[in-house]
Amino acid sequence: MQRLMDQQKITARERKAQPSPPYPRIRRGARKTQIVVVGGGAGGLELVRKLGDKFGRRNHDIILVDQNLSHIWKPLLHEVAAGSLDANLDEVGYRSHCARWGYRFFQGSLESIDRKKRTIRLAPVVDDKGKEVIGAHTIRYDMLVLALGSVSNDFGVPGVKEHCLYLDSRKQADRFRTRLLNHCLRVSRAMLSDPKADERVKVAIVGGGATGVELAAELYNAAAGLKHYGLEVFDESRLDVTLLEAGQRILPALPERLSNSARGELQALGVKVREGVQVIKATDNALVTADGEEIEADLMVWAAGVKGADFLATLGLEVTPRNQIVVKPTLQSVTDQDIFALGDCCAFVPEDGGPQIPPRAQAAHQMADTVFNNICRRERGRKLETFTYHDNGSLISLSRFTTLGNLMGNLVGGAMAVEGRMARFIYTSLYRMHLIGIHGWFKGLGLMVIGRVNRIVRPRLKLH
Protein backbone atom coordinates (compact mmCIF):
# COMPACT_ATOMS: atom_id res chain seq x y z
CA MET A 1 0.00 0.00 0.00
CA GLN A 2 2.82 2.41 0.92
CA ARG A 3 4.57 1.62 -2.39
CA LEU A 4 1.35 2.43 -4.31
CA MET A 5 0.96 5.75 -2.47
CA ASP A 6 4.58 6.64 -3.20
CA GLN A 7 4.11 5.78 -6.86
CA GLN A 8 1.00 7.98 -7.06
CA LYS A 9 2.96 10.92 -5.54
CA ILE A 10 5.75 10.46 -8.10
CA THR A 11 3.23 10.32 -10.97
CA ALA A 12 1.51 13.47 -9.71
CA ARG A 13 4.85 15.30 -9.48
CA GLU A 14 5.73 14.21 -13.03
CA ARG A 15 2.41 15.45 -14.37
CA LYS A 16 2.91 18.78 -12.64
CA ALA A 17 6.40 19.14 -14.07
CA GLN A 18 5.23 18.52 -17.66
CA PRO A 19 4.96 21.65 -19.83
CA SER A 20 1.45 22.98 -20.42
CA PRO A 21 -0.12 22.20 -23.80
CA PRO A 22 -0.80 25.13 -26.15
CA TYR A 23 -4.42 25.14 -24.96
CA PRO A 24 -5.67 24.26 -21.45
CA ARG A 25 -7.01 20.77 -21.00
CA ILE A 26 -10.72 20.71 -20.39
CA ARG A 27 -12.10 18.10 -18.05
CA ARG A 28 -14.56 15.62 -19.45
CA GLY A 29 -18.03 17.09 -19.30
CA ALA A 30 -16.67 20.63 -18.99
CA ARG A 31 -15.12 21.15 -22.43
CA LYS A 32 -15.37 24.70 -23.65
CA THR A 33 -16.89 25.62 -26.98
CA GLN A 34 -13.95 26.69 -29.11
CA ILE A 35 -14.61 29.31 -31.79
CA VAL A 36 -11.64 30.09 -34.03
CA VAL A 37 -11.53 33.15 -36.29
CA VAL A 38 -8.75 33.23 -38.89
CA GLY A 39 -8.02 36.75 -40.07
CA GLY A 40 -7.92 39.96 -38.04
CA GLY A 41 -9.15 42.38 -40.67
CA ALA A 42 -12.13 44.70 -40.38
CA GLY A 43 -14.68 41.89 -40.15
CA GLY A 44 -12.63 39.35 -38.20
CA LEU A 45 -11.47 41.75 -35.50
CA GLU A 46 -14.97 43.14 -34.98
CA LEU A 47 -16.33 39.58 -34.74
CA VAL A 48 -13.92 38.40 -32.02
CA ARG A 49 -14.54 41.59 -30.06
CA LYS A 50 -18.28 40.86 -30.05
CA LEU A 51 -17.81 37.16 -29.29
CA GLY A 52 -15.43 37.89 -26.42
CA ASP A 53 -17.76 40.52 -25.03
CA LYS A 54 -20.77 38.19 -25.34
CA PHE A 55 -19.36 34.89 -24.08
CA GLY A 56 -16.19 35.75 -22.16
CA ARG A 57 -13.89 32.90 -21.12
CA ARG A 58 -16.09 30.95 -18.75
CA ASN A 59 -17.63 28.42 -21.13
CA HIS A 60 -16.14 29.55 -24.44
CA ASP A 61 -12.67 29.83 -25.87
CA ILE A 62 -12.56 32.52 -28.56
CA ILE A 63 -9.35 32.45 -30.59
CA LEU A 64 -8.10 34.87 -33.25
CA VAL A 65 -5.37 33.75 -35.65
CA ASP A 66 -3.47 36.19 -37.86
CA GLN A 67 -0.03 36.18 -39.43
CA ASN A 68 0.55 39.79 -38.30
CA LEU A 69 0.77 41.20 -34.78
CA SER A 70 -1.38 44.24 -35.41
CA HIS A 71 -4.35 45.46 -37.43
CA ILE A 72 -4.74 48.53 -39.58
CA TRP A 73 -7.86 49.40 -41.56
CA LYS A 74 -7.17 48.40 -45.15
CA PRO A 75 -8.85 51.46 -46.77
CA LEU A 76 -6.12 53.57 -45.11
CA LEU A 77 -3.18 51.76 -46.69
CA HIS A 78 -2.84 54.27 -49.53
CA GLU A 79 -2.24 56.98 -46.90
CA VAL A 80 0.37 54.79 -45.19
CA ALA A 81 2.06 54.25 -48.57
CA ALA A 82 2.21 57.98 -49.30
CA GLY A 83 3.44 58.81 -45.79
CA SER A 84 0.34 60.85 -44.89
CA LEU A 85 -0.58 58.44 -42.09
CA ASP A 86 1.68 57.00 -39.39
CA ALA A 87 0.46 53.42 -39.03
CA ASN A 88 2.12 53.15 -35.62
CA LEU A 89 -0.48 55.58 -34.27
CA ASP A 90 -3.51 53.92 -35.87
CA GLU A 91 -2.68 50.22 -35.64
CA VAL A 92 -4.36 47.90 -33.13
CA GLY A 93 -2.13 45.35 -31.37
CA TYR A 94 -3.92 42.01 -31.21
CA ARG A 95 -2.39 40.96 -27.89
CA SER A 96 -3.51 44.06 -26.02
CA HIS A 97 -6.90 43.98 -27.73
CA CYS A 98 -7.53 40.34 -26.79
CA ALA A 99 -6.68 41.03 -23.15
CA ARG A 100 -9.37 43.71 -23.09
CA TRP A 101 -12.11 41.74 -24.86
CA GLY A 102 -11.74 38.20 -23.54
CA TYR A 103 -10.37 36.25 -26.48
CA ARG A 104 -6.97 34.74 -27.23
CA PHE A 105 -4.59 35.59 -30.06
CA PHE A 106 -2.19 33.27 -31.87
CA GLN A 107 0.21 34.45 -34.54
CA GLY A 108 0.41 32.19 -37.56
CA SER A 109 -0.69 31.52 -41.14
CA LEU A 110 -3.39 29.01 -41.97
CA GLU A 111 -1.88 26.01 -43.73
CA SER A 112 -4.66 23.41 -43.87
CA ILE A 113 -7.99 22.31 -42.38
CA ASP A 114 -8.81 18.79 -41.17
CA ARG A 115 -12.59 18.81 -41.28
CA LYS A 116 -12.95 15.29 -39.86
CA LYS A 117 -10.92 16.08 -36.75
CA ARG A 118 -12.14 19.68 -36.78
CA THR A 119 -8.67 21.17 -36.49
CA ILE A 120 -6.64 23.73 -38.38
CA ARG A 121 -2.90 23.60 -38.90
CA LEU A 122 -0.77 26.74 -38.69
CA ALA A 123 2.50 27.08 -40.56
CA PRO A 124 5.70 27.80 -38.58
CA VAL A 125 6.44 31.42 -37.69
CA VAL A 126 9.97 32.51 -38.61
CA ASP A 127 11.94 35.67 -37.81
CA ASP A 128 13.64 38.02 -40.28
CA LYS A 129 16.65 35.66 -40.41
CA GLY A 130 14.52 32.66 -41.32
CA LYS A 131 14.85 31.02 -37.90
CA GLU A 132 11.79 29.27 -36.54
CA VAL A 133 10.14 31.13 -33.66
CA ILE A 134 6.96 29.08 -33.34
CA GLY A 135 6.69 25.60 -34.77
CA ALA A 136 3.79 24.34 -36.85
CA HIS A 137 0.87 23.33 -34.64
CA THR A 138 -2.82 22.52 -34.73
CA ILE A 139 -5.83 24.19 -33.10
CA ARG A 140 -9.14 22.43 -32.65
CA TYR A 141 -12.43 24.18 -33.34
CA ASP A 142 -16.12 23.66 -32.81
CA MET A 143 -16.88 26.52 -35.16
CA LEU A 144 -14.41 28.06 -37.61
CA VAL A 145 -14.70 31.48 -39.24
CA LEU A 146 -12.50 32.39 -42.21
CA ALA A 147 -12.05 36.15 -42.57
CA LEU A 148 -8.86 36.19 -44.61
CA GLY A 149 -9.57 39.18 -46.82
CA SER A 150 -8.19 39.39 -50.36
CA VAL A 151 -4.99 39.93 -52.31
CA SER A 152 -4.30 41.80 -55.55
CA ASN A 153 -5.23 39.94 -58.71
CA ASP A 154 -2.49 40.19 -61.32
CA PHE A 155 -4.59 38.17 -63.85
CA GLY A 156 -1.45 36.25 -64.81
CA VAL A 157 0.16 39.27 -66.52
CA PRO A 158 3.87 38.46 -67.00
CA GLY A 159 6.31 40.35 -64.80
CA VAL A 160 3.78 41.86 -62.41
CA LYS A 161 4.75 39.76 -59.40
CA GLU A 162 8.44 40.45 -59.95
CA HIS A 163 8.37 44.18 -60.73
CA CYS A 164 5.17 45.76 -59.38
CA LEU A 165 4.24 46.75 -55.85
CA TYR A 166 0.93 45.88 -54.16
CA LEU A 167 -0.96 47.58 -51.34
CA ASP A 168 -2.53 44.56 -49.64
CA SER A 169 -0.80 44.94 -46.26
CA ARG A 170 1.02 47.40 -44.07
CA LYS A 171 4.33 45.76 -44.91
CA GLN A 172 3.75 46.40 -48.61
CA ALA A 173 2.63 49.98 -47.95
CA ASP A 174 5.78 50.61 -45.89
CA ARG A 175 7.93 49.20 -48.70
CA PHE A 176 6.32 51.55 -51.21
CA ARG A 177 6.82 54.57 -48.93
CA THR A 178 10.50 53.76 -48.42
CA ARG A 179 11.13 53.47 -52.15
CA LEU A 180 9.11 56.61 -52.86
CA LEU A 181 11.13 58.66 -50.36
CA ASN A 182 14.40 57.32 -51.76
CA HIS A 183 13.44 58.46 -55.27
CA CYS A 184 12.29 61.86 -53.97
CA LEU A 185 15.64 62.28 -52.20
CA ARG A 186 17.49 61.28 -55.38
CA VAL A 187 15.65 63.91 -57.42
CA SER A 188 16.15 66.58 -54.75
CA ARG A 189 19.90 65.96 -54.59
CA ALA A 190 20.21 65.95 -58.38
CA MET A 191 18.48 69.33 -58.60
CA LEU A 192 20.70 70.80 -55.90
CA SER A 193 23.71 69.75 -57.94
CA ASP A 194 22.21 71.07 -61.19
CA PRO A 195 19.23 73.47 -60.82
CA LYS A 196 18.48 73.11 -64.54
CA ALA A 197 18.12 69.33 -64.32
CA ASP A 198 14.65 68.06 -65.25
CA GLU A 199 14.56 65.18 -62.76
CA ARG A 200 11.23 63.62 -61.78
CA VAL A 201 9.83 60.75 -59.76
CA LYS A 202 7.76 58.65 -62.14
CA VAL A 203 4.93 56.56 -60.66
CA ALA A 204 2.63 54.32 -62.73
CA ILE A 205 -0.54 52.96 -61.12
CA VAL A 206 -2.48 50.18 -62.83
CA GLY A 207 -6.15 50.15 -61.88
CA GLY A 208 -8.64 53.00 -61.78
CA GLY A 209 -10.65 51.72 -58.83
CA ALA A 210 -10.75 53.22 -55.35
CA THR A 211 -7.19 52.22 -54.38
CA GLY A 212 -5.55 53.54 -57.53
CA VAL A 213 -7.46 56.81 -57.61
CA GLU A 214 -6.98 57.56 -53.90
CA LEU A 215 -3.27 56.74 -54.03
CA ALA A 216 -2.72 59.02 -57.04
CA ALA A 217 -4.27 62.00 -55.21
CA GLU A 218 -2.53 61.22 -51.91
CA LEU A 219 0.88 61.21 -53.60
CA TYR A 220 0.42 64.85 -54.62
CA ASN A 221 -0.66 65.79 -51.12
CA ALA A 222 2.48 64.18 -49.66
CA ALA A 223 4.82 65.61 -52.30
CA ALA A 224 3.61 69.14 -51.54
CA GLY A 225 4.77 68.76 -47.94
CA LEU A 226 8.22 67.28 -48.50
CA LYS A 227 9.87 70.68 -48.93
CA HIS A 228 9.18 71.32 -45.24
CA TYR A 229 11.07 68.19 -44.20
CA GLY A 230 14.53 68.64 -45.67
CA LEU A 231 13.83 68.31 -49.41
CA GLU A 232 13.85 72.07 -50.03
CA VAL A 233 13.83 71.92 -53.84
CA PHE A 234 11.29 69.11 -54.16
CA ASP A 235 7.57 69.67 -54.56
CA GLU A 236 4.58 68.19 -56.40
CA SER A 237 5.82 69.57 -59.73
CA ARG A 238 8.61 66.99 -59.58
CA LEU A 239 6.04 64.16 -59.44
CA ASP A 240 4.91 62.40 -62.61
CA VAL A 241 1.96 60.06 -61.93
CA THR A 242 0.21 57.99 -64.61
CA LEU A 243 -3.05 56.19 -63.81
CA LEU A 244 -3.92 53.34 -66.20
CA GLU A 245 -7.39 51.81 -66.42
CA ALA A 246 -8.30 48.99 -68.81
CA GLY A 247 -12.00 49.88 -68.72
CA GLN A 248 -13.68 52.81 -70.43
CA ARG A 249 -13.60 55.00 -67.31
CA ILE A 250 -12.11 55.15 -63.84
CA LEU A 251 -14.29 54.37 -60.80
CA PRO A 252 -16.79 52.26 -62.75
CA ALA A 253 -18.79 51.55 -59.57
CA LEU A 254 -19.78 55.23 -59.34
CA PRO A 255 -22.18 57.16 -61.60
CA GLU A 256 -20.54 58.49 -64.74
CA ARG A 257 -20.88 62.11 -63.58
CA LEU A 258 -18.84 61.41 -60.45
CA SER A 259 -16.30 59.41 -62.44
CA ASN A 260 -15.84 62.38 -64.76
CA SER A 261 -15.54 64.71 -61.76
CA ALA A 262 -12.82 62.53 -60.23
CA ARG A 263 -10.96 62.44 -63.54
CA GLY A 264 -11.05 66.23 -63.74
CA GLU A 265 -9.75 66.62 -60.17
CA LEU A 266 -6.87 64.21 -60.82
CA GLN A 267 -5.90 65.90 -64.06
CA ALA A 268 -5.93 69.27 -62.31
CA LEU A 269 -3.40 67.88 -59.85
CA GLY A 270 -1.19 66.67 -62.68
CA VAL A 271 -2.14 63.00 -62.90
CA LYS A 272 -2.13 61.55 -66.41
CA VAL A 273 -5.39 59.57 -66.50
CA ARG A 274 -5.42 57.05 -69.32
CA GLU A 275 -8.55 54.97 -69.77
CA GLY A 276 -9.02 52.03 -72.12
CA VAL A 277 -5.35 51.06 -71.77
CA GLN A 278 -4.56 47.40 -71.08
CA VAL A 279 -1.21 46.40 -69.57
CA ILE A 280 0.07 43.08 -70.91
CA LYS A 281 3.56 42.97 -69.40
CA ALA A 282 5.72 44.54 -66.70
CA THR A 283 9.49 44.89 -66.92
CA ASP A 284 12.07 46.20 -64.47
CA ASN A 285 11.33 49.85 -65.23
CA ALA A 286 8.31 49.97 -67.55
CA LEU A 287 4.79 48.76 -68.25
CA VAL A 288 4.00 47.45 -71.73
CA THR A 289 0.51 48.08 -73.11
CA ALA A 290 -1.50 46.08 -75.62
CA ASP A 291 -0.57 48.69 -78.26
CA GLY A 292 3.13 48.03 -77.68
CA GLU A 293 3.75 51.27 -75.84
CA GLU A 294 6.24 51.25 -72.98
CA ILE A 295 5.42 53.48 -70.01
CA GLU A 296 8.59 54.02 -67.99
CA ALA A 297 8.31 54.38 -64.22
CA ASP A 298 10.48 54.37 -61.11
CA LEU A 299 7.62 52.83 -59.11
CA MET A 300 4.85 50.63 -60.50
CA VAL A 301 1.78 49.84 -58.40
CA TRP A 302 -0.71 47.11 -59.32
CA ALA A 303 -4.23 47.85 -58.08
CA ALA A 304 -6.30 46.30 -60.86
CA GLY A 305 -8.58 44.04 -58.82
CA VAL A 306 -8.64 41.50 -55.99
CA LYS A 307 -9.09 37.78 -55.45
CA GLY A 308 -8.84 35.26 -52.63
CA ALA A 309 -5.36 34.02 -51.71
CA ASP A 310 -4.23 31.01 -53.77
CA PHE A 311 -4.03 28.66 -50.76
CA LEU A 312 -7.80 28.97 -50.21
CA ALA A 313 -8.25 26.62 -53.17
CA THR A 314 -6.30 23.91 -51.29
CA LEU A 315 -8.42 23.80 -48.12
CA GLY A 316 -11.00 21.31 -49.42
CA LEU A 317 -13.80 23.88 -49.59
CA GLU A 318 -15.73 24.87 -52.70
CA VAL A 319 -14.28 28.07 -54.18
CA THR A 320 -14.85 30.27 -57.21
CA PRO A 321 -12.27 30.76 -60.00
CA ARG A 322 -11.05 33.76 -57.98
CA ASN A 323 -10.40 31.56 -54.94
CA GLN A 324 -13.35 32.89 -52.95
CA ILE A 325 -15.16 30.47 -50.63
CA VAL A 326 -18.70 29.73 -51.81
CA VAL A 327 -21.15 30.26 -48.94
CA LYS A 328 -24.82 29.64 -48.18
CA PRO A 329 -27.20 32.52 -47.41
CA THR A 330 -26.27 31.98 -43.73
CA LEU A 331 -22.56 32.59 -44.62
CA GLN A 332 -21.71 28.95 -43.88
CA SER A 333 -19.50 27.21 -46.40
CA VAL A 334 -21.56 25.08 -48.78
CA THR A 335 -19.05 22.31 -48.04
CA ASP A 336 -19.14 22.34 -44.22
CA GLN A 337 -21.78 23.84 -41.92
CA ASP A 338 -19.23 24.30 -39.11
CA ILE A 339 -17.19 26.71 -41.22
CA PHE A 340 -18.28 30.30 -41.84
CA ALA A 341 -16.66 32.79 -44.21
CA LEU A 342 -16.99 36.56 -44.37
CA GLY A 343 -15.51 39.55 -46.14
CA ASP A 344 -13.47 39.55 -49.33
CA CYS A 345 -12.54 35.86 -49.08
CA CYS A 346 -16.13 34.65 -49.49
CA ALA A 347 -18.41 34.61 -52.53
CA PHE A 348 -21.95 35.52 -51.53
CA VAL A 349 -24.65 35.70 -54.19
CA PRO A 350 -28.09 36.96 -53.03
CA GLU A 351 -30.96 34.49 -53.19
CA ASP A 352 -32.82 36.77 -55.58
CA GLY A 353 -30.11 36.16 -58.18
CA GLY A 354 -28.52 39.60 -57.91
CA PRO A 355 -24.81 40.28 -58.42
CA GLN A 356 -22.15 38.97 -56.05
CA ILE A 357 -21.51 41.22 -53.05
CA PRO A 358 -18.55 43.52 -53.87
CA PRO A 359 -15.34 43.36 -51.79
CA ARG A 360 -15.90 46.40 -49.58
CA ALA A 361 -15.27 47.15 -45.93
CA GLN A 362 -18.98 47.79 -45.36
CA ALA A 363 -19.78 44.27 -46.59
CA ALA A 364 -17.24 42.77 -44.16
CA HIS A 365 -18.77 44.70 -41.24
CA GLN A 366 -22.28 43.59 -42.14
CA MET A 367 -21.17 39.98 -42.59
CA ALA A 368 -19.45 40.05 -39.20
CA ASP A 369 -22.79 41.03 -37.63
CA THR A 370 -24.58 38.14 -39.33
CA VAL A 371 -21.93 35.57 -38.40
CA PHE A 372 -22.02 36.77 -34.79
CA ASN A 373 -25.80 36.45 -34.68
CA ASN A 374 -25.68 32.99 -36.27
CA ILE A 375 -23.07 31.72 -33.83
CA CYS A 376 -25.29 32.92 -30.98
CA ARG A 377 -28.30 31.25 -32.61
CA ARG A 378 -26.43 27.96 -32.97
CA GLU A 379 -25.51 28.08 -29.30
CA ARG A 380 -29.22 28.38 -28.48
CA GLY A 381 -30.29 25.78 -31.03
CA ARG A 382 -32.23 28.29 -33.10
CA LYS A 383 -32.59 28.64 -36.87
CA LEU A 384 -29.84 30.70 -38.49
CA GLU A 385 -30.62 33.99 -40.20
CA THR A 386 -29.75 34.79 -43.79
CA PHE A 387 -27.40 37.59 -44.72
CA THR A 388 -28.88 40.66 -46.38
CA TYR A 389 -26.50 43.22 -47.84
CA HIS A 390 -27.44 46.86 -47.46
CA ASP A 391 -25.57 48.98 -49.99
CA ASN A 392 -24.76 52.23 -48.24
CA GLY A 393 -23.04 53.62 -51.30
CA SER A 394 -19.40 54.26 -52.07
CA LEU A 395 -17.12 57.19 -51.23
CA ILE A 396 -13.73 58.07 -52.72
CA SER A 397 -11.29 60.40 -50.99
CA LEU A 398 -8.97 62.47 -53.16
CA SER A 399 -6.89 63.37 -50.11
CA ARG A 400 -7.34 66.94 -48.85
CA PHE A 401 -8.47 68.08 -52.29
CA THR A 402 -12.01 66.66 -52.37
CA THR A 403 -14.19 63.65 -51.60
CA LEU A 404 -17.00 62.30 -53.76
CA GLY A 405 -19.33 59.35 -54.05
CA ASN A 406 -22.91 58.16 -53.79
CA LEU A 407 -24.97 57.31 -50.71
CA MET A 408 -27.79 54.94 -49.82
CA GLY A 409 -27.44 52.83 -52.95
CA ASN A 410 -30.24 50.45 -51.96
CA LEU A 411 -32.70 53.27 -51.29
CA VAL A 412 -32.24 55.56 -54.25
CA GLY A 413 -30.45 53.38 -56.77
CA GLY A 414 -27.09 55.06 -56.27
CA ALA A 415 -28.46 58.39 -57.54
CA MET A 416 -27.79 60.42 -54.40
CA ALA A 417 -24.40 61.90 -55.24
CA VAL A 418 -22.32 63.83 -52.71
CA GLU A 419 -19.13 65.84 -53.07
CA GLY A 420 -16.96 68.21 -51.08
CA ARG A 421 -17.15 68.76 -47.34
CA MET A 422 -20.29 66.72 -46.80
CA ALA A 423 -18.72 63.71 -48.53
CA ARG A 424 -15.49 64.19 -46.58
CA PHE A 425 -17.35 64.24 -43.27
CA ILE A 426 -19.18 61.01 -44.13
CA TYR A 427 -15.95 59.39 -45.35
CA THR A 428 -14.16 60.09 -42.05
CA SER A 429 -17.25 58.89 -40.17
CA LEU A 430 -16.82 55.45 -41.74
CA TYR A 431 -13.44 55.08 -40.04
CA ARG A 432 -14.88 56.32 -36.78
CA MET A 433 -17.59 53.66 -36.94
CA HIS A 434 -14.85 51.10 -37.56
CA LEU A 435 -13.08 52.24 -34.39
CA ILE A 436 -16.29 51.87 -32.41
CA GLY A 437 -16.87 48.44 -33.94
CA ILE A 438 -13.53 47.06 -32.75
CA HIS A 439 -13.10 49.03 -29.51
CA GLY A 440 -16.61 49.76 -28.27
CA TRP A 441 -18.11 53.21 -27.78
CA PHE A 442 -16.04 54.43 -24.81
CA LYS A 443 -12.56 53.66 -26.13
CA GLY A 444 -13.61 54.34 -29.72
CA LEU A 445 -14.65 57.91 -28.88
CA GLY A 446 -11.44 58.38 -26.88
CA LEU A 447 -9.33 57.31 -29.85
CA MET A 448 -11.15 59.78 -32.08
CA VAL A 449 -10.16 62.61 -29.74
CA ILE A 450 -6.56 61.37 -29.60
CA GLY A 451 -6.52 61.16 -33.39
CA ARG A 452 -7.51 64.81 -33.69
CA VAL A 453 -4.77 65.84 -31.24
CA ASN A 454 -2.17 63.79 -33.12
CA ARG A 455 -3.02 65.57 -36.36
CA ILE A 456 -2.13 68.85 -34.65
CA VAL A 457 0.98 67.90 -32.66
CA ARG A 458 2.51 65.18 -34.87
CA PRO A 459 4.38 65.74 -38.16
CA ARG A 460 2.20 65.81 -41.26
CA LEU A 461 4.28 63.13 -42.97
CA LYS A 462 5.96 59.93 -41.87
CA LEU A 463 9.45 59.97 -43.36
CA HIS A 464 10.98 56.81 -41.92
pLDDT tens for each residue of 318-342: 999 999 999 999 999 999 999 999 9
The predicted pLDDT at position 408 comes to 57
Kindly state whether residue 407 falls inside one of the protein's structural domains.
no
Domain match, 172 and 246 both: yes
Percent of the chain residues past pLDDT 90, beyond the cut: 58
The predicted pLDDT at position 375 comes to 97
Domain match, 214 and 285 both: yes
- pLDDT interval class at 149 (50, 70, 90): very high
Q: Minimum mean pLDDT among 36-40, 122-126, 169-173, 409-413: which range?
A: 409-413
pLDDT digits (tens, 9 = 90+) for 60-95: 999 999 999 999 989 889 989 988 888 887 889 999
Domain-ending residue, one of 252, 279, 306: 306
Residue 116 has pLDDT above 80, yes or no: yes
pLDDT digits (tens, 9 = 90+) for 10-22: 444 443 344 333 4
Burial class for 9, CB neighbours closer than 10 Å (0-12, 13-18, 19+): exposed
Domain match, 341 and 219 both: no
The radius of gyration computed from the CA coordinates of the chain, to the nearest angstrom, equals 25
Query: What average pLDDT does the segment 421-434 reach?
Result: 74
Domain match, 250 and 317 both: no
pLDDT digits (tens, 9 = 90+) for 373-424: 999 999 999 999 999 998 887 788 887 778 877 775 544 454 566 666 677 7
pLDDT digits (tens, 9 = 90+) for 344-368: 999 998 877 777 888 888 899 999 9
The predicted pLDDT at position 2 comes to 46
Domain match, 40 and 60 both: yes
Domain match, 168 and 102 both: no
Domain match, 268 and 179 both: yes
Kindly state whether residue 2 falls inside one of the protein's structural domains.
no
Domain-ending residue, one of 379, 406, 429: 379
Kindly state whether residue 400 falls inside one of the protein's structural domains.
no
Kindly state whether residue 424 falls inside one of the protein's structural domains.
no
Kindly state whether residue 408 falls inside one of the protein's structural domains.
no
Domain-ending residue, one of 306, 336, 369: 306
Domain match, 44 and 142 both: yes
Kindly state whether residue 122 falls inside one of the protein's structural domains.
yes
- pLDDT interval class at 37 (50, 70, 90): very high
Between helix 441-457 and helix 420-439 the angle, nearest 10°, is: 130
The predicted pLDDT at position 9 comes to 43
Domain match, 286 and 332 both: no
Kindly state whether residue 345 falls inside one of the protein's structural domains.
yes
pLDDT digits (tens, 9 = 90+) for 221-242: 888 888 776 777 788 888 999 9
Domain encompassing residue 349: 30-79+91-150+308-379
Q: Minimum mean pLDDT among 45-59, 98-112, 387-401, 433-447: which range?
A: 433-447
Q: Which helix (H) or strand (E) holds 457?
A: helix 441-457
Q: Is the dihedral of CA 158, 159, 160, 161 positive or negative?
A: positive
Domain match, 220 and 362 both: no
pLDDT digits (tens, 9 = 90+) for 287-317: 999 999 999 999 999 999 899 999 999 999 9
Kindly state whether residue 418 falls inside one of the protein's structural domains.
no
The structural domain count of the chain equals 2
| CATH code at position 319 | 3.50.50.60
| CATH code at position 261 | 3.50.50.100
Domain match, 321 and 190 both: no
Domain match, 111 and 235 both: no
Closest residue by Cα to residue 164 from 206, 195, 194: 206
User: Taking a C-beta distance cutoff of 8 angstroms, is the pair 246, 277 a contact?
Assistant: yes
The b-or-e profile of 419-457 (16+ CB within 10 A means b, else e) is beeebbebbeebbeebbbbbbeeeebeebeeeeeeeeee
The whole-angstrom separation of Cα 330 and Cα 83 is: 40
